[in-house]
Structure 1
Amino acid sequence: MTAGVPEAPEETGAPGPVHEVDLVIVGAGPSGLYGAYYAGFRGMSVAVIDSLPEPGGQVAALYPEKDIFDIAGYPAVKGQTLVDALVAQASQADPLYLLGESAVELRHDPESVEVVTDAGTLVRAKALLLTGGIGTFTPRELPVGGEYLGRGLRYFVRRLDELAGQDVVVVGGGDSALDWALALEPIARSLTLVHRRDAFRAHEQSVARLRSSSVRVLTPYEVAGVAGDGRIAEVTVERVRGGDMITLPAQTVVAALGFIADLGPMQKWGLDLRRRHVLVDRSMRTNLDRVFAAGDISDYDGKVRLISVGFGEAAAAVNNLAPLVNPAFGTVPGHSSDAA
């Protein structure tokens, strides 16, 4: 086999258990879970690898109580509710979950792929589908107030009710910042959104909802200081290039400034990359034999990064890799209703 890393001295290259399946999926987020279900629907055995201890990816880890509005059939759905439904759907494929393990080595040839995890597990398969987010995410830090991390400063909100009755300052201008501000508005004592630009990088509907809400919006402002005796008590913001200062009461600052992505070991696998994303063609095929990608990690001209798009990409990938798993499997699947 060719390899993204040197061959290990052992016959299998891994000291732990060995599993053989038709398809191995790296990433147990929404696209990976749907891919697992769809592979089962196409008659494949599946293993799913994810570094997190529970399925659901970033949605479950960072935004379980956030409403998601772009999922077909759901006017709005909480992140964890969506994940629970996807896990139930994927259970029809009886996937092998390898959670809390990171894929660190890849070997591939025209006949098969092998993935080795940091726990020493080896998974041998006919094809690999990459559906991870974009590797490891590190939050972009607030330039001031880092000493209050865990004492009022946070980078995401797992449970909204933890902030009930508090004065909350949300910092940022993207979708996450506006989503947190709007979700916390009904339960916070006061809610202020601070963004260093007048324009937001969020969905137009979210911006319109923000403008009609009771959230105090301060633009173009940035956080100049955070103060408190052991915990955050107030935040000082300064107008960008203007100089005037405003001091706000705050027990919590949510710094929704985005995340820095790191593909980790995948960067050494020989994949064609563009801005930390894996390039694919119209069949979701990468430049490596039997390796496909779908969801946030994939990239192509005209890519739209929505969960709903990731579902379609996962289905497209599974259908296009199906003949590699079994030549009797056609690319055209037929309709699920025909299988009932």
Structure 2
Amino acid sequence: MPHTNELYDITIIGGGPVGLFAAFYAGMRKAKTKIIDSLPQLGGQLATLYPEKFIYDAPGYPAIKAADLVANLEEQLASFNHDILLEEEVINLTKKEDYLVLETNKGTHYSKAVIFAIGNGSFQPRRLTLDGAEQFEDKNIHYFVKDMQDFADKKVVIAGGGDSAIDWALMLEQVAAEVSIIHRRPEFRGHEHSVEKLKESTVQVLTPFMIEQLHVVNEAFEGVQIKHTKEEERQLIQADSLIVNYGFTSSLSHLKDWGLEVSRHSIIVDSDMSTNIPGVYAIGDISVYKGKVKLIATGFGEAPTAVNNALHFVQPDIRTQPMHSTSLFEKAAPQQVL
């Protein structure tokens, strides 16, 4: 049995919108809660891939940008002092007699109950395969944008042709000295409105080109050499930073290895959001049941159900149907935020 200080009531795997709301509600129920996410920032795919896209299925908002929705959820979550672990991927789940063991790429965690809120799965970026790229990762070559101000007054090159690449190009145009975007096809894959805004912007559009090699001088990153995909034309693009948006890979095969019942890349749950493993629950896009509608709004509704039933599992005398949420929040005094 792990030490009491190491044992959490609820551990939420996934820090996307649904996971964030689940953590907030767990705070309302005064549960000792931890969030583990494989990405370097909270918000999941919305924050990482589509920060400028509008969300239309969040209750109370006719339309809200993905980044703003995530910011609101983080502000809401700040009422409680939960532990949040980023850039940590769960690699194994083991059920003990009265607790669960989560092994990650960085350590071991113990929890009385676990809630999966991993969307379409734990995903990792497709990395640049050019010689020497690895040594510049997180210095000059980036796969995520944690803070736009890191690129203030810099020359930035973005590689990619989807919504994520276009979003970041348009956002960084406001803070960077120069922004260029490289795509190997003549046309972009992003939404028409975003592509139109890109063409009207000051962003230098380079199509159809691909990065041929890094431009390194005296072991310092100086930019990239690009090559036309159909001709022999080459260009040297000076840059301080390269942001790579080649998409992401995601694997859910390990869920079966852990003993979870899976159907079509989703975890099968009952109406109380429980899985076939006692103490383990799943919400949001990763969960499936008869009549499931995959919307953010659906995940928000599933979160309190999972939390309430997880706490009832942990302590059977705890009610699964607490008082009204407004009264509950009044009684849950916010903890000090560090």
- Is the shorter-chain TM-score for this pair beyond 0.5, marking a shared fold? yes
Mapped contact 1:234–1:250 kept (Cα < 8 A):
yes
Residue 87 in structure 1 maps to residue 108 in structure 2: no
Q: Provide the rounded CA distance (Å) in 2 between the counterparts of 1:169 and 1:54.
A: 21
Residue 175 in structure 1 maps to residue 163 in structure 2: yes
Partner SS for 1:122: strand
Deviates more, 1:259-268 or 1:247-256: 259-268
Once the two structures are TM-superposed, the CA of residue 182 in structure 1 deviates from its matched residue by 1.1
With over 3 angstroms needed to count, the CA separation of the structure-2 counterparts of 1:136 and 1:205, relative to structure 1, is same
With over 3 angstroms needed to count, the CA separation of the structure-2 counterparts of 1:143 and 1:216, relative to structure 1, is same
Could you tell me which residue of structure 1 aligns to residue 116 of structure 2?
130
Once the two structures are TM-superposed, the CA of residue 152 in structure 1 deviates from its matched residue by 2.7
Q: Provide the rounded CA distance (Å) in 2 between the counterparts of 1:277 and 1:165.
A: 44
Mapped contact 2:41–2:146 kept (Cα < 8 A):
no
Q: Provide the rounded CA distance (Å) in 1 between the counterparts of 2:187 and 2:294.
A: 21
Structure 2: which 5+ runs fail to align? 331-338
Once the two structures are TM-superposed, the CA of residue 266 in structure 1 deviates from its matched residue by 4.7
With over 3 angstroms needed to count, the CA separation of the structure-2 counterparts of 1:315 and 1:210, relative to structure 1, is farther
Q: Provide the rounded CA distance (Å) in 1 between the counterparts of 2:232 and 2:102.
A: 54
Alignment of 1:62-141 (within 5 A): 69-70=54-55, 73=61, 75-76=64-65, 77=67, 81-82=71-72, 84-89=74-79, 91=80, 97=83, 99=85, 104-107=92-95, 114-117=100-103, 119=107, 121-125=109-113, 128-132=114-118, 137-141=123-127
Mapped contact 2:267–2:286 kept (Cα < 8 A):
yes
Q: Provide the rounded CA distance (Å) in 2 between the counterparts of 1:304 and 1:16.
A: 37
Partner SS for 2:221: coil
Give the RMSD, CA atoms, in angstroms: 4.4
Describe the superposition over 1:16-42 as per-residue Cα deviations: whole angstroms up to 9, x where unpaired. 856363x4433344422311222454x
Describe the superposition over 1:227-277 as per-residue Cα deviations: whole angstroms up to 9, x where unpaired. 130333342323334444333332221111223335696553112346765
Q: Provide the rounded CA distance (Å) in 2 between the counterparts of 1:203 and 1:284.
A: 34
Residue 33 in structure 1 maps to residue 20 in structure 2: yes
Describe the superposition over 1:38-62 as per-residue Cα deviations: whole angstroms up to 9, x where unpaired. 2454x463432426799836589x8
Describe the superposition over 1:92-138 as per-residue Cα deviations: whole angstroms up to 9, x where unpaired. xx75x3747865433178xx65334565553224xx31124666544
Residue 163 in structure 1 maps to residue 151 in structure 2: yes
Mapped contact 2:23–2:35 kept (Cα < 8 A):
no
Once the two structures are TM-superposed, the CA of residue 205 in structure 1 deviates from its matched residue by 4.3
Q: Provide the rounded CA distance (Å) in 2 between the counterparts of 1:170 and 1:314.
A: 36
Once the two structures are TM-superposed, the CA of residue 215 in structure 1 deviates from its matched residue by 1.8
Mapped contact 1:27–1:132 kept (Cα < 8 A):
yes
Partner SS for 1:142: coil
Q: Provide the rounded CA distance (Å) in 2 between the counterparts of 1:53 and 1:185.
A: 24
Mapped contact 2:181–2:203 kept (Cα < 8 A):
yes
Which of 211, 219, 236 is 1:247 aligned to?
Answer: 236
Percent of aligned positions with the same letter in both sequences?
30
Alignment of 1:9-48 (within 5 A): 12=1, 14=2, 19=7, 21=9, 23-41=10-28, 43=29, 45-48=31-34
With over 3 angstroms needed to count, the CA separation of the structure-2 counterparts of 1:129 and 1:176, relative to structure 1, is same
Mapped contact 1:278–1:299 kept (Cα < 8 A):
yes
With over 3 angstroms needed to count, the CA separation of the structure-2 counterparts of 1:336 and 1:161, relative to structure 1, is same
Mapped contact 2:40–2:146 kept (Cα < 8 A):
no
Which of 168, 188, 202 is 2:176 aligned to?
Answer: 188
Once the two structures are TM-superposed, the CA of residue 181 in structure 1 deviates from its matched residue by 0.6
Could you tell me which residue of structure 2 aligns to residue 152 of structure 1?
140
Code of the residue aligned with 1:32 in structure 2: it is G
Describe the superposition over 1:271-303 as per-residue Cα deviations: whole angstroms up to 9, x where unpaired. 234676545567644343443212464467986
Give the TM-score of the pair, scaled to structure 2.
0.70
Mapped contact 2:89–2:122 kept (Cα < 8 A):
no
Task: Report the number of matched residues.
Answer: 315
Residue 235 in structure 1 maps to residue 221 in structure 2: no
With over 3 angstroms needed to count, the CA separation of the structure-2 counterparts of 1:164 and 1:116, relative to structure 1, is closer
Q: Provide the rounded CA distance (Å) in 2 between the counterparts of 1:305 and 1:246.
A: 44
Q: Provide the rounded CA distance (Å) in 2 between the counterparts of 1:185 and 1:169.
A: 11
Mapped contact 2:20–2:74 kept (Cα < 8 A):
no
Give the TM-score of the pair, scaled to structure 1.
0.70
